[in-house]
Each structure stands twice: as structure tokens, then as C-alpha cells.
Structure 1
């Protein structure tokens, strides 16, 4: 594997393309929120109420995408090219069907769901106009993600990366046109953001589907028999992955229920902070994608010395990067809040969140990397439990207790404390596991 400098260089080479893809994927979401913030507090709060359900859909599609890539890669590794082509067709068909049914259910039951989250009648009127085009956009994004997973399973990551950038740029261009209008066109307001995403994803879907057809990576012959034989291994991979992916949306639902009790201004600020969180964790998210394959190869070679070195390097990167970014963002919080929020009251509440939360993402980043490493090193159950502990033992209890004691300031401080405690616990857990060879697997 080489010495330490070469390890750093290799980690950089594997991570930066992923970081660019994550930046493109998450950037357009923040752009959406920034433009919507110019419409006022109520539209921004309405969009914020939809985030947990949007994250729910993303969790399901990511879990299925992990299974897609794994099964197709294994089939090709075993020389079963025709089976890989059948699997590709199967997952696009069934994955699209599952996401369509989920979208339909979330539309049919959206009123009781959003009322349970704390939305009042005025917020529901905004949500009604925004939610159905947003569900269409989410379905298009899910099918596009499944196609990306097929490309990645065949070793092609360049086209998905390029299309994420193209889609994000198109969305950024269309957002102000669709939201605010141009010339005689007055714009659609809040729903315009969803329609801009629909157009961007549709273009990406048309281009990638055409390339997929040209590659001849799909086969519809024998797809019924393939479904009968492959559903068990598919769910064996997708099930645990979905559970891990669905825990953050559940935590987001509970968190926004607490925030909703403080007012619409706080909901709007929380929604912007949630967008900023994912963008600020860009490097960590990239590491969670680039590090596991490397760790997996070391695990297969039983090279635990290299695993220790890799994890030490990755955790140092996470801590120093997130702390440095967090301090800079905290110092610049008035400027950042002014750029993202449209009204003064939302800016003030958002600035408080930035000052508390951004530095605490050093702890969150450590926990995310340890969970990702656990999946790569043969500890999927422990990784899932650690992910659950981060959310339901540290983060949510601290957030709730802080809110009960000190209101909005307590919520920000409690959420930050929960992130730091989760990171400390994850680091302790990793050190204890790696120090005991008999516990390294299983």
C-alpha cells in the first residue's frame, strides 16, 4: 500500500472526485432553499416540513441502490453477464415501481402526516401546492439514482459524476426563472423550485437512459425467473442498508416536531441549517464512499496494520477539516445567514444554529466514518447500532432536553453536544474493537 505520504495521496485521489459529486448533489438543494427564503418565512417553513419525508424517500432509494451495485458487481465478478443484465432491468423496473408506490402513499396521507409534524392550516396550503411536484421530482431522482448505481456497478463513475454536475447547474439556472418568473411570466413561487428539479432530473434521466441502452446493460429475457431467485439476496443487502438509511429521517421527523413547537421562524431556520449541514459534511460524505473499498481490500488481506493507519488518517482529516470549517463558519455566521435567509428574524435564528452546530460536526464526522468502516470491516449490525445510538441516545435526547431547559439556544447547544458525545463514543468504540483481534469480525 506504500508509506504514509503515498497513503495520503491515494486517499486524496480517491476522495476528491466523490467530493465533487457530493457537492453537486447537495449544492442544488441549498440553492433551492436560498431562493425559497426570498419568498418569505412561510414558504421556507413549508419546505422545511417536507424534508423528513424527502429524506425518507432518499433512504429507501439509497438502500436499494447499495443492493443493486452489490448484486450486479458480484454477477459480473462471477462471469454471469446475462444475469447482471437481467438484474439491471429488474432493479430499474421494481425500484421505480416501489418508489412510485411510496410517492403515492406520501401524497394520499400527506395531510395527517404534516399535521402530526406540527404544520398548521396556513403551512398546509403552501405544502399542498409544493408537495405533489416535489414527489414527482423525488421519483425521477430515484430512478436516476438506480441508473447511476448500474453504471457504478460496471465501474463507470465518470458519467454519473458529470450528470450530477449538469443537473445541479440546470436546476440553479431554472430556480429563479420558475420561482420568481421572467418578463410576462410571474413564476410559480414555491412549487417552481420543485418543477425546476423535475426538469433537471428529466434531462439527466433521458441522457443516462440513452447511454444505458447503448451499453446494452439491460436484458428483459427471463426477468420473472430472475425476480423469483434474486429477491432474497437483494433484501438481505437492501434491508439492513435501508434500516440504517431510514434512521436519520426518523430522527429528522422527531427533531422538527420539537422545533415546530417553537414557531415557524425556527422551523425555517432549522430547514436552512439542515441544508447547510449536508453541504458542510461534503468531505466526510465523500470519505464514506471512497474509504470502504480500500478498507475492504485490507480486510480481505487481513492487513490490520494498514486498517489502523487508514482509520487514524481518515479520523484526523475529519476532525481537523470539520473543526476548521466549523470555526470559520461560526465567525462568518452573520454573513452566511444573510446570504441564505430572506428575513431578519430567520437570519438571527440561523446564525445561532451555525455558531453552535458547525464546529460540532467534527464529532458527527467521526461517527459517520466509524459507521462506514464498520460496514466495510464485517460489523454491519454493530455499525447499525452505533448509527442508532448516535441519533436516539445522544443527539435527540440532548436536543430535547436543551429545548425544554433553554428554548432555542438550548436546542442549538443540545444538538451540538449530542454530536460531540456521539463522536467521542464512536472513537472509543472503534479503538476498543480494533484493540481486540477476537472481536474484529462479526
Structure 2
């Protein structure tokens, strides 16, 4: 599960590696753009947490039909939220980054990149929610496979579309966005094939779909607080970029590199938290409350150990 979550966010890290070769302004642009992408990721992770928690609890209570209906509700939520975010992002991105001090070429780079990213937002959310569906069903391997496929596509297309290699058009920072979007689209196509043709993790019965407010409420009761807590990170990053405004693109580019390493370090802890959520849901639904406490404290211990080790590495090799 940790590996799957790394794949969810690694699109941005791969993009930064290649975009950094376009100069400090481009590096700063993709860093600032990520603060708004983080809002989308936060909502995707939050909704996903709500979905896998609701599914796992109902599976634990042997309510398989409710769990299956939750999958279709999850797709509906992802599409609606994705379309809303696309509209809001396209309409508000330029105003937001002007307030953060971006102008000239920096602002043009940011909006050129994000415009394409926002067009793929529904695809992104559907892919993230699909991953959570598998995890809620206890399958943590399949999400890793289709996320890996998307990352391979992204890694392959990034240099081709950014630098115009092998007769591909040279699109610069927009090439990174197209590579990311197409990688996610391929992931989603693979997921759709697995779900609707191979009936994994279960056979979906579209004709039995009934809109259920209890399912939507159950997903958001868990997912919304998780989304808001992660969005605070995005707000904090925006504030740092605002403070760095007087120091120019060099400072912004340096901060982009720093928080990239920082977020990589946090990924194992986030993956563990998702695993704890799923195991808690299964055991809570089955009435095994003593196991819930064991899962909780084991998760805290493992996450603390990993973070402490990571902190030690940073301290030792900081220079």
C-alpha cells in the first residue's frame, strides 16, 4: 500500500526532475502549481479513505451488497467532484497565483501546466478512488500494478514531450502535464477493464444501482476531515511561496526541491495510515474491537520508527 501511494504522487516528482532542466523559473512554476494540485490530491485521498473505510466496514459486517453499491457511488462522487474542481481550477488559477506573487513568465508557466492538469482531474480522482476500492476489498496489489503502469507511461512520455525527442513535439512544461494526464488515463482504462470485464474485485451490477444518501454521507464523514487536514499542508506551502516572493525564482526553485524530498519522506507514514484505516474498518465491522486497538498502536509504532529513521538520515546527510 505504501508503494501504491508513492505511485499516486510520483507523477509530480518525475515531472520536476525533467522540468528542472528547463531552468529555475520552470522549476519554481511546477513547485507553485503543485500547491493547487495538492488540493486535488487531498480530496482524492480523503474521498478514497472514506470509500475504503465504508467498504471494509460493510464487508466485515457481511453486507456485501452495500459494499458493492458503494463502488458505484464512489465513481459518481469522483466524477462530480472532479468536474467541479476542473471548472474552479480553470477559472480561478490565474487569480490565485497572482495573489501569491507570480507574474510574467512564471505565471504563464504555472497556468500552462495547470490548465492541462485540471482537464484530467476527473480521471485523476477516478483512478485514486478505484485504488481505494481495491484496498477496501483487501487487495493492495492491484492498485500498485495500475499505478505502476501509469507511472511508466509518464516516465516515458516526459522527456519525449518536454524536449521534443524522437519526432515528438517540443511542448516544454506543457509536455510534463500531458505526460501526467495520459499516464493517469491509461491507468484508468486498465482499471475499467479489470472491473467491468474481469469483474475484479467484484462483479459490478449497474442495473442494481440505487442512489443512497447514507452511503454518500458515510463516505464524506470519514473522507472530508481527512481531506481538510491534508489541504492545510497545501495552504502552508502557498504561504511559504508568498513569503519567498521578494527573493525571486531561485528561492522558489530551491524550496520546490526541498519540499519534494520532504514529501517523499512522509509517504511511508501516509501509506501506513491508509492500511490502518482499512484494517480498522474490517475489524470494526466484524465486531473485533480488541484488534482495532492493536492495529492502531502497531501503526503508530511502525510509522514513528520509519519517520525517526528518516529524520536521522536527513540530519546526517543534510550537507
For normalisation by structure 2, the TM-score amounts to 0.87
Mapping for residues 313-392 of structure 1, pairs under 5 Å: 314-319=303-308, 321-331=309-319
**Cα distance between partner residues in 1 of 2:296 and 2:2:** 22
1:273 partner SS: helix
Structure 1 runs of 4+ off > 4 angstroms? 291-299, 302-314
Q: Contact conserved, 2:73 with 2:215, CA < 8 A, in 1?
A: no
Q: Contact conserved, 1:49 with 1:117, CA < 8 A, in 2?
A: no
1:301 partner SS: helix
1:300 to 279, 289, 292: 289
1:242 to 227, 230, 240: 227
Q: Contact conserved, 2:13 with 2:260, CA < 8 A, in 1?
A: yes
2:206 partner SS: coil
Q: Contact conserved, 1:86 with 1:221, CA < 8 A, in 2?
A: no
For normalisation by structure 1, the TM-score amounts to 0.64
Aligned to 2:76: 93
Query: What is the aligned-residue RMSD (CA, Å)?
Result: 2.7
Structure number, greater radius of gyration: 1
2:22 partner SS: coil
**Cα distance between partner residues in 2 of 1:77 and 1:307:** 17
Aligned to 1:14: none
Q: Contact conserved, 2:29 with 2:109, CA < 8 A, in 1?
A: yes
Where do 5+ consecutive residues of structure 1 fail to align?
Answer: 1-17, 332-442
Where do 5+ consecutive residues of structure 2 fail to align?
Answer: none
**Cα distance between partner residues in 2 of 1:290 and 1:159:** 15
In the alignment, is residue 197 of structure 1 matched against residue 180 of structure 2? yes
In the alignment, is residue 258 of structure 1 matched against residue 243 of structure 2? yes
**Cα distance between partner residues in 2 of 1:202 and 1:309:** 36
Q: Kindly tell me: are residues 249 and 313 of structure 1, through their superposed partners in 2, closer, same or farther at Cα, counting changes over 3 Å?
A: closer
1:44 Cα shift? 1.6
1:287 Cα shift? 3.2
Aligned to 2:48: 65
Q: Contact conserved, 1:137 with 1:195, CA < 8 A, in 2?
A: no
**Cα distance between partner residues in 1 of 2:157 and 2:118:** 18
Aligned residues: 312
